[in-house]
Amino acid sequence: MKSTCELYDDHLEDVGTLPPALRHFGGRPRFHGRVETVKCFEDNSKVKALAEGPGEGRVMVVDAGASTRHALVGDLVAGAAQRNGWAGIIVMGAVRDSAALRKMDFGILALATTPRKSVRNNEGQVGLPVRIGDVRIDSGDYIVADEDGALCFPRSGPLPMIDA
């Protein structure tokens, strides 16, 4: 797989660079796929519901408002997503169960960890445009992540040549 550095050099300003504050918590640092967005705040109801459905190689991008007070993904949600064919999850917020997440062959990027679990009030929205740092991300965009970070390719542009 081409590295994010090579892909950035190939596409320069046509690609969004996600914030370097996002850290790898899953056991698979290299992952990529079409995006499905979730916008929620301290409530992982929609994240859990998506993880329990078919992932079809997609990457779930969760705009949690950068809150690290509640974890939106833990080993149970990540395990469901992995079993259901999601390529990875990016959370602009917190995760929990980090020791278990690191053992999973699954891509997870997030800001931080906390032991505090999510609330569940069935709040949040799926499929809306979200903003991760200064990058607007829409469902259908394409994410590529590796050890150096993550890039977002707009769905309106050409797909990146991942394998070269």
Q: Hey, what are 44's tokens?
A: 């992982």
Q: Is the pLDDT of residue 9 over 80?
A: yes
Other beta carbons within 10 Å of 23: 13
Strands 31-39 and 59-63, by their bridges, are parallel
Q: Hey, what are 149's tokens?
A: 């970070």
Other beta carbons within 10 Å of 91: 28
Please give the class, per CATH, of domain 4-153. alpha beta
Percent of the chain with pLDDT over 70: 98
The verdict on pTM exceeding 0.85 is yes
User: Model confidence over 56-95: pLDDT tens digits?
Assistant: 999 999 999 999 999 999 999 999 999 999 999 999 999 9
User: Model confidence over 24-34: pLDDT tens digits?
Assistant: 999 999 999 99
The torsion of the CA quartet 112, 52, 63, 110, rounded to 10 degrees, works out to 20
